[in-house]
Amino acid sequence: MHTKGTCCCSFEDYKLTTEWLLNQTSHRPKVAVICGSGLGLLADGAANKQTFKYQDIPHFPVSTVPGHEGRLVFGMIEDTPCVFMQGHFHLYEGYSLCQVTFPVRIFKLMGVELMLVTNASGGICPDFKVGDIMIIKDHINLPGFAGQHPLCGPNDERFGIRFPSMSDAHSKDLRGLVLDVGVELGCSDFIREGVYCMVSGPNFETIAEARMLQVLGCDSVGMSMVPEVTVAKHCGLRVLGLSLITNKVSLDYSREEKVNHEEVLEICKMRAEVLQKIVTKLITRCQQQSINTH
Ligand SMILES: *C1O[C@H](CO)[C@@H](O)[C@H](O)[C@H]1NC(C)=O
Ligand SMILES: *[C@@H]1O[C@H](CO)[C@@H](O)[C@H](O)[C@H]1NC(C)=O
């Protein structure tokens, strides 16, 4: 039996979980995908799948939301061995940041080189439309400003340096590749690039807060992703984040943005398929490029 719910940040804990997984599966993933809502399909499309429930993996955090069973899925996208996280952990649920980011270091120790994160967020940039896919060019770690930062505490040099640079956290090459893939798939008109801001949630922003975020240069806002990206960058993973704009954040007292919920769900479903195509093509491309450069 493994203890659950306790914090588990020692190198030995990461090592044990990694070793356990390597013992249980012959998959050796190169790409990790953290699947946002609606993108679970992506894992279903992988070949040669092997699935683990989070609750069966030693030290892995377990979802507290009933019915939201978390699963780690290993599988192949064309020739690329991948691992998918279906279900992940939010700060607002009460997890510590070490729990939220625990899987990222497991991926690193398993040999993953590239991490793709997909999510939904609210559009702040006035030009954004519901259904746009935003390539995350950069982020603002608002909880981090207030000390809620996953790298606080003693630094383990085996993962990375004490004062890591974050200026290039979101790979420029990969962002360019998404733009190319977008052209090929004929969906450039709704692929955008922008700055994502994380807030802890769980409440949505007030209008004053939303306006503040706009002044600060944020194009979209959401309640996850930045801790995972930060820890991934710290340990040397290449990162690409894609965010589906599911609603427009209200910035005006007189004109409350009323979005039609059905319409939003419909767009999400439609766009999830496109997002899936983009991610699949991107993974294939990365594989081809790494073959070409060798
Ligand atoms: C993305 O955001 C949505 C809605 O805000 C949330 O339900 C989901 O868990 C998030 N997913 C990821 C991968 O961050
Ligand atoms: C992995 O397998 C080896 C060899 O069978 C075993 O000694 C080790 O205890 C296993 N590790 C874990 C964490 O299950």
Domain ranges in the chain are 11-292
What element of type H or E holds 291? Answer: helix 261-292
Average pLDDT score over residue span 96-122 = 94
Average pLDDT score over residue span 83-89 = 89
Q: Which atom of ligand 1 is nearest to the CA of 119?
A: 1
Structure tokens at 98: 């070490």
Which of 37, 71, 231, 268 for mutating ligand 1's site (highest number of atoms within 8 Å of CB)? Answer: 37
List, chain by chain if needed, residues with CB within 6 Å of any ligand 1 atom.
Answer: 34, 36-37, 88, 118-120, 222-225
Q: Which atom of ligand 2 is nearest to the CA of 23?
A: 1
Q: 4: pLDDT confidence band, cut at 50, 70 and 90?
A: very low
Tell which wins on pLDDT, 65 or 215.
215
Q: 291: pLDDT confidence band, cut at 50, 70 and 90?
A: low
Place of tokens 């059905």: 262
Q: Give the pLDDT of residue 44.
A: 81
Q: Give the pLDDT of residue 261.
A: 65
| Selected catalytic residue, list 43, 210, 223, 272 | 223
Tell which wins on pLDDT, 45 or 14.
14
Q: Give the pLDDT of residue 167.
A: 93
Tens of pLDDT, residue by residue over 194-251, are 999 999 988 888 999 999 999 999 999 999 999 999 999 999 999 999 999 988 888 8
Q: Give the pLDDT of residue 250.
A: 86
Q: Model's pTM, two decimal places?
A: 0.90
For domain 11-292, the question of CATH label 3.40.50.1580 is answered with yes
Average pLDDT score over residue span 8-14 = 85
**Residue 172 CB partners (closer than 8 Å, separation 6+):** none
Phi and psi at residue 46, to the nearest 5°: -75, 155
Distances (CA, A) of 150 to 95, 234, 235: 11, 10, 12
How far does residue 233's CA lie from ligand 2's centre (Å)?
29
Q: Where are the beta strands (DSSP E) in 26-99?
A: 31-35, 47-53, 71-77, 80-86
Instruction: Please tell me the distance from the alpha carbon of residue 64 to that of residue 88, in angstroms, as a whole number.
Output: 10
Instruction: Spell out a b/e string for 189-213, using b for 16 or more CB atoms within 10 Å of the CB, else e.
Output: ebbbebbbbbbebeeebeeeebbeb
| Selected catalytic residue, list 119, 121, 220, 224 | 224
Q: Give the pLDDT of residue 2.
A: 39
Which of 19, 25, 110 for mutating ligand 2's site (highest number of atoms within 8 Å of CB)? Answer: 19
